[in-house]
Structure 1
Amino acid sequence: MKLTWSDVTPQSVFLDRRRFMAAGAALGASALLPGAAAALTGTPSPFSTAETPNTFEQITNYNNFYEFGTGKEDPARYAAALTTDPWSVEIGGMVDRPGSYGVEDLAPDNALEERIYRLRCVEAWSMVVPWIGVPLASVLEKVGVQPGAKFVAFETVMRPSEMPGQTRAILDWPYREGLRLDEAMHPLTILATGLYSEPMPKQNGAPIRLVVPWKYGFKSIKSIVRITLTDRQPLATWQQMQPSEYGFYANVNPTVDHPRWSQATERRVGAGLFAGREETLMFNGYADQVAQLYAGMDLKANY
């Protein structure tokens, strides 16, 4: 059964929201061309960086999304085949209101925020991306987190007929990731459904993906179809494949090198051939907001 927020919120609140959205749709419908995707508008957020974002072309044509292949251009080349409408996310485990939820209910238009975040890949390249989305905490609060839940597990869609990378044993499909509950509930953590006021491009994780800006990019799982609350630390795909190289936490840390390369500096995509490398910031520059989550932890052992 597919659930909507009308099933888990007071009826008066739900109806007021629907009336507001219907009125806006009526005003804007005449401006839309047949088949055109509506632009997304996100409320500006104080969590956004003041750094200049990368261009839309750079963000959408330089990606790691192994479901479409291992080349940086493979996602843009092959992602058009992915069917993203309809789409639902199964939320289960230790929650009060488990069920199948539509993207429009997880991230309704009137709740969207713009979050301009730094993105740091474990491969030591970086970008600045203007995401559009909602705090993950708002979704988890609506489904009701049960006492005893400690972790949140995520899973990407498994669709080899549309995702050619899944026809090869590049990884153990489907792709899986996880967060500790306090990381998931942190206000910086979002579920993104767009970027640059456009619905999320397929090569970037359409229609809904996770964004955790203080962690390496592989933690921000794309094209999510399942979210599970659990009392046990979930096994993440890269952690399972190479546990000595990719830890569960994957916090950006310039003092802890990858076994095969340094993490002390990074290359900004689009900066130019002679721009040089930049120093990597602890927690990708978000230390003031998140360092307390790891107080007392050995960040070399919990990499």
Structure 2
Amino acid sequence: MRFSRYGRIRPSEITDQEVWRKRRQLITAGMAAGAGLLLGGIGSQAGAAMTGPGKNRKILLSGESAYGGNLAPTEYEHITTYNNFYELGYGKEAPAENAAALKTRPWSVKVSGECARPGLMDMEDILKLDQEERIYRFRCVEAWAMVVPWVGFPLGKFLQRFQPTSKAKYVEFETLYDPQRLPGQKRTVLDWPYREGLRIDEAMHPLAFMATGLYGEVLPGQNGAPLRLVIPWKYGFKNIKSIVSIRFVEKQPINSWQATAANEYGFYANVNPDVPHPRWSQKRHRVLGRGVFGGKEDTLLFNGYADEVASLYSGMDLRKYF
């Protein structure tokens, strides 16, 4: 099944109000936290839904993703009230409850390391990259499933602006460290700030993108404002939020969850149903909207994007490099 390529998603798979009201029941059920991602484009039929909820400042849009079809997006209130963002709290609802603490202006992103044109880029200038912006429909296959109408731009095109050198084998990302704006950092659950990394060819792949908004508006704090990474074929912990630093490096960086539990979270984090998490199987995932104990579907290798990304890992033992 290729949900994102052909738009085959049933109405029952979309988050509805009943599920939203039962969110605490879902949390109590102890659903798995490992997230996988599927990406798709906005179809013309659902274009009316992009009028937006009027919550945040509008973003100028110039195009649409070539991927996907007529996928109906999950409602804004659901997307923005059921989140994993430990820097803003540890329950699914906590990030939304604490998002007001995250002040996103002023904000800039430092790009450094093995590149010819390092520099500091202000968030307002990043938002002006409207000629490269695309609308994405993004299906989050986790313990739940959502279709998020992201706004973003290709990661690779952004990185090319800084002219990485031949020594740039990897790209390292870092989240803001500020316990006042990110109160979850007051607890030592992880070694803050949060860090993630990609191989340079992964980062340059056209499916990888940076999200600056959703529903045609700038990102809410609980969704990773003002700038987050989205890698469709990887589990959710790779999608680092509230980015302030990007560094081109020669050696493979250690990402935060890998540093905390290397036997559970590898560097690559590719969606692979044949490699179980030590504490649960990853062969199937739940679909939000079908009840707490139902709605399971088979998990696909690379979330169904094997045709696009499998060549990146040719010859690699995916059980060893998980």
* TM-score interval, smaller chain: 0.7 to 0.9
Tell me which residue corresponds to 1:266: 285
Q: Is the 8 A contact 1:47 1:188 kept in 2?
A: no
How far the C-alpha of 1:191 sits from its partner, in A, is: 0.7
Greater C-alpha radius of gyration: 1
Segment of structure 1 superposing worse, 125-134 or 223-232: 125-134
Q: Is the 8 A contact 2:141 2:286 kept in 1?
A: no
Q: Counterparts of 2:225 and 2:308 in 1: how far apart (Å)?
A: 28
**Partner residue of 1:88 out of 108, 117, 134:** 108
Q: Structure 1 residues 40, 170: closer, same or farther in 2, change over 3 A?
A: farther
Q: Counterparts of 1:276 and 1:265 in 2: how far apart (Å)?
A: 10
How far the C-alpha of 1:51 sits from its partner, in A, is: 3.6
**Partner residue of 2:232 out of 196, 199, 213:** 213
Aligned pair 1:227/2:246, yes or no?
yes
How far the C-alpha of 1:116 sits from its partner, in A, is: 1.2
Instruction: Supply the AA of the counterpart residue of 1:109.
Output: D
Instruction: Supply the AA of the counterpart residue of 1:193.
Output: T
Instruction: Supply the AA of the counterpart residue of 2:123.
Output: V
**TM-score normalised by the chain length of structure 1:** 0.84
Per-residue Cα deviation, 1:208-262 (whole angstroms, up to 9, x for no partner): 0000010001101000000000000001000000000000000011111110011
Tell me which residue corresponds to 1:8: none
Percentage identity across paired residues of the two chains: 54
Unpaired runs of 5+ in structure 1? 1-34
Q: Is the 8 A contact 2:84 2:91 kept in 1?
A: yes
Q: Structure 1 residues 156, 168: closer, same or farther in 2, change over 3 A?
A: same
Instruction: Supply the AA of the counterpart residue of 2:132.
Output: A
**Partner residue of 1:253 out of 272, 295, 299:** 272
**Partner residue of 2:192 out of 145, 168, 173:** 173
Q: Number of aligned residue pairs: give it.
A: 267
Aligned pair 1:109/2:143, yes or no?
no
Aligned pair 1:78/2:103, yes or no?
no
Q: Counterparts of 2:141 and 2:292 in 1: how far apart (Å)?
A: 19
Q: How does 1:272-283 map to 2 (within 5 A)?
A: 272-273=291-292, 275-283=294-302
Q: Structure 1 residues 258, 42: closer, same or farther in 2, change over 3 A?
A: farther
How far the C-alpha of 1:266 sits from its partner, in A, is: 0.8
Q: Counterparts of 1:272 and 1:173 in 2: how far apart (Å)?
A: 35
Q: Counterparts of 2:93 and 2:65 in 1: how far apart (Å)?
A: 31
Unpaired runs of 5+ in structure 2? 1-54
Per-residue Cα deviation, 1:74-125 (whole angstroms, up to 9, x for no partner): 100001111101110000001111111012333423321011122234xx43
Tell me which residue corresponds to 2:223: 204
Q: For 2:100, what is the secondary structure of its paired residue?
A: helix
How far the C-alpha of 1:54 sits from its partner, in A, is: 2.0
Aligned pair 1:161/2:175, yes or no?
no
Q: For 1:292, what is the secondary structure of its paired residue?
A: helix
Q: How does 1:231-246 map to 2 (within 5 A)?
A: 231-246=250-265
Q: Structure 1 residues 158, 253: closer, same or farther in 2, change over 3 A?
A: same
How far the C-alpha of 1:153 sits from its partner, in A, is: 0.1
Instruction: Supply the AA of the counterpart residue of 2:204.
Output: M
Q: Counterparts of 2:174 and 2:184 in 1: how far apart (Å)?
A: 16
Q: Is the 8 A contact 2:56 2:218 kept in 1?
A: no
Q: Counterparts of 1:151 and 1:113 in 2: how far apart (Å)?
A: 25
